[in-house]
Amino acid sequence: MNIQDISNKNYFVFDAFGTLFKTSEVKAELTQIAGEKTDNLINVWRNKQLQYTWLRNEMNRYQPFSTVTRDALDYSMRLNGITDEKVFDILLPLYDTPQLIEGAKDLLKTLKEKDKTVAILSNGTRSMLDNGVQLTGIQYYVDHILSVDDIGIYKPQPAVYQMALEKLEATTAELLFFSSNQWDVSGASNFGLDACWINQYGETKEGLPFGNMVETGSLRELTSSFL
């Protein structure tokens, strides 16, 4: 598969956070509390978010992403010796008030103009996703919002990608999955979906198994492939 082949698909399914949505910058406000520990606080938090979803999958102990996010932040605060609970008030709401990544709206608008079906498939809670879609104004271009809340399992478990096929009543040949997260692309492509890795952060390719995948550098680059 190459970048030109993607226009032949009918169903375009996007990861949400890091792919379409970015969280607001709050570093200056956070630095007033965390000081020189700010970067480590955020980095550990982000890493533990992912680790906790994967570990909960292994233990069959699902909790919504909002709970996992709070647990990860609580750990990072304790690790960094930060006790001011204002940190929760600063960071936790970010997932309910995201911003669009550059080029996202243009891409989604172009897909709808081409009569494609557009969906979001995310580990985020339904509330997070509904809020994000409404606040960023992309509700006119998104046909389906799919949250792992519906099945109580996180990506990259195969059941999540199967849910997308079933909810959309699509076949693997008709659907293309997009994510900026390599572990997500690996999961989707190994499940059997054609996938597009949006390498908008200039990452080195991971040593993970990948199925049928194409790489692109940005959402804008994707949009140009439809024009």
Residue 15 among the catalytic residues:
yes
98 preceded by a cis bond (ω within 30 of 0) = no
Task: Confirm if 126 and 132 have CB atoms less than 8 A apart.
Answer: no
Q: How far apart are the first and last CA of the chain?
A: 19
And the tokens for 101? 């990544």
Q: Which of 5, 15, 39, 150 is catalytic?
A: 15
The H or E element spanning position 22 is strand 21-22
Classify the C-alpha dihedral 65-23-176-3 as positive or negative.
negative
And the tokens for 75? 């750990």
Half-sphere exposure of 102 (CA within 13 A, CB side): 6
Alpha helices in 80-211, H assignment, sequence order: 86-91, 104-113, 126-136, 158-168, 182-191
* Catalytically annotated residues: 15
